[in-house]
Amino acid sequence: MKNRYGHHEHTDFVAEITYGSEKRPWHPDFIGFIQEMAAHAVYAGMPDAIDEDGKVQWESPSNRRSGKYQNTHAKRLKWWMGKAECIGISTEENQWISRVAKRIHPLKRKPCRNCGRWLHLDYRYPNKTAMKKFREIFEGLEFSELTSILEVVDLVHSEYGVDGLKQLVEVLSAPSAPDFPQNAADSPTLLKVFLLDIYIPAEVKGKLGPGAMSNAPDRFDGFHHFNRCCRGRSDPGRSKKNLSTYSTDRRVFEHWCGGDWIAADRLMGQFPSAFTDHECRIEGCFENILTADHIGPVSLGFAHRPSFGLMCKSDNSSKNNRMSLFDIEKLRAHINEGEEVFSWQSRHVWDALHHRVNDEETARRLSKVMRDNQRIAMEILCQLKGHGCLAYLATFLELGHARCDVEFVGLSAVDGVTHFDAIKHKPRTSKQVEKQMERRLRVAFKSLDEYAEKENRHAWTIQDTWTIEIEAMVALLKAGRTTRTVEVDRRLEEFLTGGRVRKDSLFSDIEIATEYPPKGFSEATDTLQSSLKVIADSLAKEWDSDRYIRTGLEG
Ligand SMILES: [Zn+2]
Ligand SMILES: [Zn+2]
C-alpha cells in the first residue's frame, strides 16, 4: 500500500509541473493520486478538471473573485447535484454532498497531501476519548488515532485475548451506537465483520472518526487535502499532541534487542510533538512531523536506546534496515562517548567489519551482513527455546528496566539526532511494571515461535558452526541447574502457555537471574559470545562476496 504510485514514477511529472510551494511541495503520492482521480470515469464531466497548463485543477475555492476559473466552484456544485440525482441521494438531505462524495469515491482511501499517508475515508479511526480509554486499559500497545479500529482488534486480541475484545466492545458501546451482538467479542473475525458492516458505516462520532474530512465541492474528489495525520497544521483547534503515539516498539521485543527499552520508548513517545521545530534530517526534505529513527536498526541487532534520528515517516520507512554512512558515523561517535549501542548479538560483527565502511555502499553492505548475523542469532535463540532453556533466555530481555520511568532534561536535537542533558529515573507503580514485563516476555517468546516457522534454515551464507555450540550451552545450563532455575523454567513455561502463575514472583526471579546469573547461565553466555565471535569472523570473510556487494533487494 505504501507508495501506490512510487516516488520515482512521477519524478518527471513533478519536475515539469510543480504543485505547491518550493518549501513544501505536494507529496508525490498525492500528485499520483490526483492524476488517477482526474482520469477516473467516476468524475467524468467534472467542470474545469484540467487547467490551461495541463495541470489538474484540484481546488475550486468558493471565494475566487476573478479569472478564468472564478465560476468553477458553482459549476462543480451543479455537477455534484447531478451526481446525487444519479445515485438517488436527495439534495434536500443533510450533508447530501459529503454523502455523495463518500459513496462514489473510487478508492475509499486517499493519501495526505502533506505527508503522503494513506487513510480510509470512513469512520474507522479512534478519536481522542476512545484513545484515552484504550491507553488506560491496554497499556503499552502501540496504536494511535491513525490506527484503524480493525487493526486495533487484532492487536488487542493477540496480547489480551478474548477478555481484551470484551473491554474493547465496552469502550465502543454508546447509546447512539448500534448494539453489539451478544457474541461480538468471541472472535476477532466476528468483531471485525460487525465493525466493518454495521458500526463504521453508522459513523458513531463520539468514538471513531474518518481519515479525511469531506469538503465538496472545494476539492475535486470532495475531501480535504490534509488527512487526519496532518489536520493539526491547518486546524488550530486540534493539537498535534493528540497524535503522539503511545509507543512501545514491538519490533524491539521481536528482535530480542537489549538496551534501556523503557527510556527508549519514552523518548519515542515524545515524537512528533517535542520536535516540531526541527525538520527531517534527510537532505532536501523539509517535513516537520517527525518519527524516531533507530540509528542502529533493531532488525540488525542494535540496542533499543534513547537516541534517535529525526526522520519523516516516509524517509524512515524507506530506510528500513539499511544504515547510511551518516548512521555509521553517528554510531562510531556514540561508541567513542562510551555509550552502549550494541545488543548482546551484534558487537562482534560490528567490530569485525565497521572499519571497512567508508561510503554509502559499504554502509549498506555492513547492514546486509548484520542482517544475516541477526538471523543466525535468532536461530540460536529458537534452538535454545527448543531445548527448554526458557529462564536463561528470559534473562536476555532485561526486564528490570521496567521498574523505572524516565524523564528527559533539556530535550532537543542536534545535527538531526535527539539530545538531552540528563535523564531522571523515578520508580513506577508495580501494576504498570508488571504489564510492561508481561508484554515484553509474551511478544519476545511468541516471535521465536513465529521465526521458527517461517525461516528457511538451509539458506545460511556461512557454515553452521553454532548448532554444536548450542549443545555445549545446553550441557552447561544443565550441569549448572539448581532447584531454583528448574522452578523458574517450569513456571515460565506455564506462564507462556496460558497457565495461572504468580507473575510478580516469576518476574522478580527472572530479574534476579539477570542481575546475578547462576554459574550455568554465565558459562553458557561465555560460550555464546565466543560462538558469535566465530560467526562474525566467518561473515567478515564474505565481505566481498556477491551476496553483499550485489545491489537490489535486501536478503
Ligand atoms: Zn498527513
Ligand atoms: Zn523526510
In this prediction, residue 244 carries a pLDDT of 37
As a three-state string, the secondary structure of 241-276 is: HHHCCCCCCHHHHHCCCCCCHHHHHHHHHCCCHHHC
Taking the centre of ligand 2 as the mean of its atom positions, its distance from the CA of residue 324, in whole angstroms, is: 14
Taking the centre of ligand 1 as the mean of its atom positions, its distance from the CA of residue 253, in whole angstroms, is: 28
Closest ligand by atom to 416 CA: 2
328-358 in b/e burial notation, b at 16+ Cβ within 10 A? Answer: bebbeebbeeeeebbbbbbbbbbebbbeebe
Question: What span, in angstroms and rounded, lies between the C-alpha atoms of 395 and 507?
Answer: 10
Closest ligand by atom to 226 CA: 1
Q: Which three cell numbers stand for residue 442?
A: 509474551
Q: Are 387 and 245 in contact (CB under 8 A)?
A: no
Contacts of 43 (CB under 8 A, 6+ apart): 37, 49, 220, 221
Closest ligand by atom to 113 CA: 1
Q: Are 79 and 90 in contact (CB under 8 A)?
A: no
Question: What span, in angstroms and rounded, lies between the C-alpha atoms of 314 and 311?
Answer: 8
Taking the centre of ligand 1 as the mean of its atom positions, its distance from the CA of residue 315, in whole angstroms, is: 14
Residue recorded with cell 569472523: 537
Classify the phi-psi angles of 512: left when phi > 0, otherwise alpha if psi is within -120 to 50, otherwise beta: alpha
Which residues sit opposite 54 in a β-bridge?
none
Taking the centre of ligand 1 as the mean of its atom positions, its distance from the CA of residue 45, in whole angstroms, is: 29
Taking the centre of ligand 2 as the mean of its atom positions, its distance from the CA of residue 226, in whole angstroms, is: 17
Q: Are 400 and 387 in contact (CB under 8 A)?
A: no
Angstrom CA distances, 24 to 115, 209, 350, stand at 10, 27, 38
Output DSSP code: residue 426: E
DSSP SS3 for 501: coil
Taking the centre of ligand 2 as the mean of its atom positions, its distance from the CA of residue 208, in whole angstroms, is: 29
Closest ligand by atom to 115 CA: 1
In this prediction, residue 456 carries a pLDDT of 66
Closest ligand by atom to 317 CA: 2
H or E element at residue 328: helix 325-336
Q: Which three cell numbers stand for residue 145?
A: 488515532
In this prediction, residue 38 carries a pLDDT of 94
In this prediction, residue 280 carries a pLDDT of 94
Taking the centre of ligand 1 as the mean of its atom positions, its distance from the CA of residue 146, in whole angstroms, is: 10
- Pick from 334, 310, 367: which is nearest to 259 by CA? 334
DSSP SS3 for 423: strand
Residue 358: phi and psi, rounded to 5, are: -140, 5
Closest ligand by atom to 313 CA: 2
Taking the centre of ligand 1 as the mean of its atom positions, its distance from the CA of residue 117, in whole angstroms, is: 5
Taking the centre of ligand 1 as the mean of its atom positions, its distance from the CA of residue 77, in whole angstroms, is: 27
pTM of the model: 0.61
Distance, C-alpha 432 to centroid of its chain: 22
Taking the centre of ligand 1 as the mean of its atom positions, its distance from the CA of residue 211, in whole angstroms, is: 10
Q: Which three cell numbers stand for residue 493?
A: 513455561
In this prediction, residue 129 carries a pLDDT of 86
Taking the centre of ligand 1 as the mean of its atom positions, its distance from the CA of residue 261, in whole angstroms, is: 28
- Pick from 41, 474, 25, 488: which is nearest to 225 by CA? 25
| pLDDT tens sequence for the chain (555 residues) | 334 554 444 333 443 456 776 567 888 889 999 999 999 999 999 999 998 888 899 988 877 777 888 889 889 999 999 999 999 999 988 889 999 999 999 999 999 998 889 999 999 999 988 988 898 888 778 788 899 999 999 999 988 888 899 999 999 999 889 999 999 999 999 999 999 999 999 998 889 999 999 988 999 999 999 999 887 654 433 334 433 334 566 788 999 999 999 999 889 988 888 898 899 999 888 888 899 999 999 999 999 999 999 999 899 988 888 999 999 999 999 999 999 999 999 999 999 999 999 999 999 999 999 999 999 999 999 999 999 999 999 999 999 999 988 889 999 999 999 999 999 988 887 777 888 899 899 999 999 998 888 766 657 888 999 999 999 999 999 999 999 899 999 999 999 998 889 998 999 999 999 999 999 999 999 999 999 999 999 999 999 999 999 765 444
Taking the centre of ligand 2 as the mean of its atom positions, its distance from the CA of residue 415, in whole angstroms, is: 14
Question: What span, in angstroms and rounded, lies between the C-alpha atoms of 214 and 217?
Answer: 9
Q: Are 200 and 208 in contact (CB under 8 A)?
A: yes
Question: What span, in angstroms and rounded, lies between the C-alpha atoms of 270 and 272?
Answer: 6
Taking the centre of ligand 1 as the mean of its atom positions, its distance from the CA of residue 109, in whole angstroms, is: 13
